[in-house]
Amino acid sequence: MNRRDAIKNVGLIAGGLTLIPYACSLTPEIVFSNLPNIKKEQQDLIGWLCNCILPEDIENFPTPEIRQNFVLTQVNDCLTSEEQAEFLLGFEKIQLSLSPTKEIKMEMLTPEDQLAFLKLHFEGEGVITRFLETLKNYSLLHFESSEKYMKNYLSYEFMPGRYLGNVPV
C-alpha cells in the first residue's frame, strides 16, 4: 500500500469516527450553562411534565421554540443559583418518587396514573411542589408569549405608537 492511500484511509476513518455521534441522534442535545447535568432524556421528562400541566397547542398557538427549551432557558437565566439548586433538587426528588430504580418511566403509566401522580405532588408541600410550581409558571408564560395569544386575546401591538396619519383634531 502506498503512502497516499494510507493517509487517505486514515483521514476517512478519522472523519467517520467524528461524525458517528452526530449521526445517531436527530435532535441535538442542548446544554445549559447553569444546568449542565440535565441530559436529553431529562429534558424530555421536563417537557413532558410541562405538557401535562398545560398541554401545548402548536397549531393554534405557535411559538418560536418548544416549551421544554423555553422553560429550561428561563430556569437557567432568570433564577438565582439557590433557586436553581432547589429546582434541580425537586427534579431529582420527582424522578426518585416516580421510580427509585429508574425502571419505570412516566410515559409507561396510564393517563389516570399520571394525573394522580401529579395531583398528589401538587397538593403536597416541599421541594417537589415548588419544582412543579416553577414548571407551571414558566409553561404559562410560554403560552402567554405566543404571538397569536398576544394579538387576539391581549390586543397587544408589537410595533408601539400606531401612526394614524391624517386625523381631525
Prediction pTM value: 0.72
Share of the chain above pLDDT 70, in %: 87
Number of domains in the chain: 1
Indicate if the alpha-carbon torsion angle 51, 53, 55, 61 is positive or negative.
negative
What is the pLDDT, as a whole number, of residue 107? 65
Per-residue pLDDT at 155: 77
Instruction: Read off the pLDDT of each residue in 82-95 and give the average, rounded to a whole number.
Output: 90
Place 102 in a pLDDT band, splitting at 50, 70 and 90: low
- What's residue 18's pLDDT? 75
Structural domain including 122 reads: 30-152
Does 34 fall in a domain?
Answer: yes
Residue 6 in any domain: the answer is no
**pLDDT for res 88:** 92
Confidence of residue 140 (pLDDT cuts 50, 70, 90): very high
Q: Is residue 158 part of a domain?
A: no
Q: For residue 148, give the C-alpha cell.
A: 397569536
In a domain, 140, yes or no: yes
Domain contains 105: yes
Collapsing DSSP to helix, strand or coil, 72 comes out as helix
Asked whether 75 and 84 are in contact (CB, 8 A), the reply is: yes
Residue 163, in any domain of the structure: no
Give domain status of residue 136, yes or no: yes
**Which of the two residues, 129 and 1, has the higher pLDDT score?**
129
Per the prediction, the chain carries an average pLDDT of 81
pLDDT digits (tens, 9 = 90+) for 146-166: 888 888 888 777 776 777 778
Query: Per the domain annotation, does 2 fall within a domain?
Result: no
* Cβ–Cβ < 8 Å for 90, 128: yes
pLDDT score for 101: 57
pLDDT at 138 over 90: yes
| Cα 132 to the center of its chain, rounded Å | 13
